[in-house]
A and B are shown apart, each in its own frame.
Chain A
């Protein structure tokens, strides 16, 4: 008897582990295909709809539960396209591009549409022939690339475009109004030079034990410090000589030394997230991407952030170098691509076109996110959201004049990116002086090229 039970248990474990294998490790977030098509056809029943052959598109995304727009985009597309089912597969955000590249390696992939999180990952997928060029389809369907305000040029590979952006974030300066009020200092403005910004950060700093206020906060990302240097439009991170980072490293390291911002090594050891730093109520100014706006609004509403600490916040444009007009900032695009492995490239392209087009943009804006096609209407939707700062400067801050991608496309961008990341860490933690670090960056990147 005992033996029989043991055999049963053993075979049960084997069967479950086997079936887990066949599912390929991503069994969780599959939308129920049984219900969606009927819903979609019901919704479309009233309008004039030609019968469409049913098609299911498998779409790679991340953080489905905590990100509002995936479901909204899928629902929006299904409602207007009867017969289409969007099946979302959540690969998680932490190492999304690594997991995706692994999924698309070899010939076993069955994704039709994939989201592209960053440019190094995009470069990898292009080189791996995992995503298809879209030029012919763009031309055939008359997609107007000028709507994307030039960012598509920065991800064009040898004259071909492999993704269309549907979300476009840019960096702004968040600030805590309560801290400025308490210190009796005027709020930051939409037109600040770096000297003014530095001075303001120092003015706001309080180093008294127990009631410290940090005038500024820089997240551990490379972008948060060195990319101040690309805002004059004369340099990019692909240059190969990085002396233009120097003034900004000096500014931040001097601030660190004087207690104006938290120490890089502390942040690195604690793994402190920028959102935790800003919502803690002791950071006066934080340079961060516009994605943080949606986080602030929803987390303040849900009560996750204490509104007495950070409830009174605002945003202004990024500070700028002397002689450069205000409004230049860093951008990050989120794109969407058709895989080369798809069996239904036409349907996949139609979905890509819809998500990156005006209809998708409207859905993005209604969830508080910045669509790649920025219209006044979309801007109005975001600034009109309940919880968005009500002052005019915050609304004005969303008008971007020049957008420079954090990482534009280059063949070896993935390697350049990791080399710069590595030496950013070395400079910020004091392992290397600024000059040594920059010299090492120059050498490492020239070796890659």
Chain B
């Protein structure tokens, strides 16, 4: 290595050391510190590259190895998920039927939603469904978890039983529900008719009209509470028994113990459960199709949901632009709600 070059490298090394000292001294903070750190990293790479005299620095090679590990997954994700997502964003401002040329339409697609009664019905139904499902699922799964965390007889069996609906195939389970709630032959309505003397023409039509959303809510609470119960159980196991012991020494009752120990200690779990529930609820499609779709899998205005409407607009009417715009609305709703939840969690933490 020439003398000149090594001198330059030494000079750079000195500069680097100076910078490091500055950072370590704690004089600079915040953004400036990150900026400096980045500069240090860059310089280190350059120095090591020049010293070794090779094309790529050692750090870069190390990075390459790490990238190669995530590459198989990331390439698949990029091709099949990332690119379509970005494309869908763009499509929301365009008009396209999948074959003819794409034309730019600006915010026309979003304006159209204002007068689209089917979109509004789908949006309303989805929101009602979420408002019903999220708190109910949370309450029921928490209640189940608290009860089944106690040393009751047959705890294992009850835990398994409450997890059963989650394991069962959706198709099979909805078929059974449809039989149970069959408007004129189902045992539920038979019970109402024979025991509670509800007149025949006033028996509830579980899968149409205003009751269809109630059926959807009840069904998903029942099907998914087992899953969230398991998450809550894990949360409950993490609470130190010392806390309960101290509370009982202070003479706290069951409710007090729940209010002052269990609930606050479960805050992180509850946060996770609520976020997952909200996202999953807005995605509702399969349950609605299976329960209210009938043989043809078509949903009437009283049961239609956003994801179904997106599918219908895209693959039945071939209005891909408008369909993407509706998908964007769904995305924004979920995003905003999740951000609010995170912000709320952040505030409570402090």
Chain A, residue nearest B98 (CB): A105
A414 at the interface (CB under 8 A from B): yes
B315 at the interface (CB under 8 A from A): yes
Mask, A240-279, CB within 8 Å of B = 1, is 0000000000000000010000010111111111000000
Known: A130-B99, A266-B183, A269-B183. A422 touches B294 (CB 8 A): no
Bound together, the chains give a CA A266 to CA B100 distance in angstroms of 43
Bound together, the chains give a CA A447 to CA B115 distance in angstroms of 8
B246 at the interface (CB under 8 A from A): no
A386 at the interface (CB under 8 A from B): no
- CB pair A128–B208 under 8 Å, yes or no, is no
The A/B interface has a contact count, at CB < 8 Å, of 100
* A430 CB contacts on chain B under 8 angstroms: 205, 208-209
- Select one of B117, B207, B304 contacting A269, CB under 8 A: B207
Q: Which of A26-34, A96-104, A193-201 contacts B (4 or more CB under 8 A)?
A: A96-104
Least CB distance from B99 to A in Å reads: 4
Chain B, residue nearest A125 (CB): B99
Least CB distance from B84 to A in Å reads: 14
Mask, B280-309, CB within 8 Å of A = 1, is 000000000000001110111110100000
- CB pair A263–B317 under 8 Å, yes or no, is no
Chain B, residue nearest A99 (CB): B315
Bound together, the chains give a CA A1 to CA B316 distance in angstroms of 52
- Select one of B99, B100, B209, B317 contacting A429, CB under 8 A: B209
Bound together, the chains give a CA A419 to CA B178 distance in angstroms of 26
Least CB distance from A120 to B in Å reads: 8
- CB pair A266–B294 under 8 Å, yes or no, is no
Least CB distance from A207 to B in Å reads: 12
- CB pair A418–B316 under 8 Å, yes or no, is yes
Bound together, the chains give a CA A440 to CA B120 distance in angstroms of 14
Least CB distance from A242 to B in Å reads: 16
Least CB distance from A252 to B in Å reads: 16
- CB pair B296–A431 under 8 Å, yes or no, is no
| Secondary structure type dominating chain A contacts | helix
Mask, B299-333, CB within 8 Å of A = 1, is 11110100000001001111000000000000000
Chain A, residue nearest B300 (CB): A425
- CB pair B298–A429 under 8 Å, yes or no, is no
- CB pair A444–B294 under 8 Å, yes or no, is no
- CB pair A422–B300 under 8 Å, yes or no, is yes
Mask, A404-434, CB within 8 Å of B = 1, is 0000000000110011011101100111000
B108 at the interface (CB under 8 A from A): no
Bound together, the chains give a CA A196 to CA B83 distance in angstroms of 62
- CB pair B98–A431 under 8 Å, yes or no, is no
Least CB distance from B250 to A in Å reads: 55
* A266 CB contacts on chain B under 8 angstroms: 182-185
* A71 CB contacts on chain B under 8 angstroms: none
* B315 CB contacts on chain A under 8 angstroms: 98, 101-102
- CB pair A444–B118 under 8 Å, yes or no, is yes
* A124 CB contacts on chain B under 8 angstroms: 317-318
A135 at the interface (CB under 8 A from B): no
Least CB distance from A163 to B in Å reads: 17
- Select one of A265, A273, A415 contacting B205, CB under 8 A: A265
- CB pair A273–B183 under 8 Å, yes or no, is no
- Select one of B118, B201, B209, B312 contacting A431, CB under 8 A: B209
Least CB distance from B25 to A in Å reads: 52
Bound together, the chains give a CA A272 to CA B316 distance in angstroms of 24
- CB pair A431–B178 under 8 Å, yes or no, is no
- CB pair B207–A128 under 8 Å, yes or no, is no
- CB pair B294–A128 under 8 Å, yes or no, is no
Least CB distance from A297 to B in Å reads: 24
- CB pair B115–A429 under 8 Å, yes or no, is no
Chain A, residue nearest B211 (CB): A431
* B185 CB contacts on chain A under 8 angstroms: 266
Mask, A208-244, CB within 8 Å of B = 1, is 0000000000001000000000000000000000000
* A263 CB contacts on chain B under 8 angstroms: 183-184
- Select one of A98, A106, A257, A273 contacting B99, CB under 8 A: A106
A129 at the interface (CB under 8 A from B): yes
- CB pair A128–B300 under 8 Å, yes or no, is no
A443 at the interface (CB under 8 A from B): yes
* B300 CB contacts on chain A under 8 angstroms: 422-423, 425-426, 429, 431
- CB pair A127–B318 under 8 Å, yes or no, is yes
* B209 CB contacts on chain A under 8 angstroms: 429-431
- Select one of B97, B116, B207, B210 contacting A268, CB under 8 A: B207
* B295 CB contacts on chain A under 8 angstroms: 220, 268, 271-273
- CB pair B318–A101 under 8 Å, yes or no, is yes
- Select one of B99, B118, B181, B318 contacting A419, CB under 8 A: B118
* B318 CB contacts on chain A under 8 angstroms: 101, 124, 127-128, 414
- CB pair A128–B183 under 8 Å, yes or no, is no
Chain A, residue nearest B206 (CB): A269
- CB pair A418–B317 under 8 Å, yes or no, is yes
Bound together, the chains give a CA A26 to CA B10 distance in angstroms of 66
Least CB distance from A44 to B in Å reads: 38
* A104 CB contacts on chain B under 8 angstroms: 99
- CB pair B296–A220 under 8 Å, yes or no, is yes
Bound together, the chains give a CA A6 to CA B219 distance in angstroms of 41
- CB pair B301–A268 under 8 Å, yes or no, is no
- CB pair B100–A425 under 8 Å, yes or no, is no
- CB pair A422–B100 under 8 Å, yes or no, is no
- CB pair A265–B208 under 8 Å, yes or no, is yes
Bound together, the chains give a CA A124 to CA B100 distance in angstroms of 12
Chain B, residue nearest A271 (CB): B295
Chain B, residue nearest A97 (CB): B316
Bound together, the chains give a CA A444 to CA B300 distance in angstroms of 13
Bound together, the chains give a CA A255 to CA B117 distance in angstroms of 31
Known pairs A128-B100, A270-B178; list 15 more (Cβ under 8 Å). A101-B98, A104-B99, A124-B317, A129-B99, A220-B294, A220-B295, A268-B295, A270-B182, A271-B295, A418-B316, A422-B300, A422-B304, A425-B298, A425-B300, A430-B208
Give me the interface of B with A, judged by CB distance under 8 Å: 97-100, 115-118, 178, 181-185, 201, 205-210, 294-296, 298-302, 304, 312, 315-318
6 contacts between A and B (CB under 8 A): A98-B316, A257-B201, A268-B207, A271-B294, A426-B300, A431-B210
Give me the interface of A with B, judged by CB distance under 8 Å: 98, 101-102, 104-106, 124, 127-130, 220, 257, 263, 265-273, 414-415, 418-419, 421-423, 425-426, 429-431, 440, 443-444, 447
Considering the complex of A and B, which 4 residue pairs feature the smallest CB-CB distances, nearest first? A271-B295, A429-B208, A425-B300, A128-B99
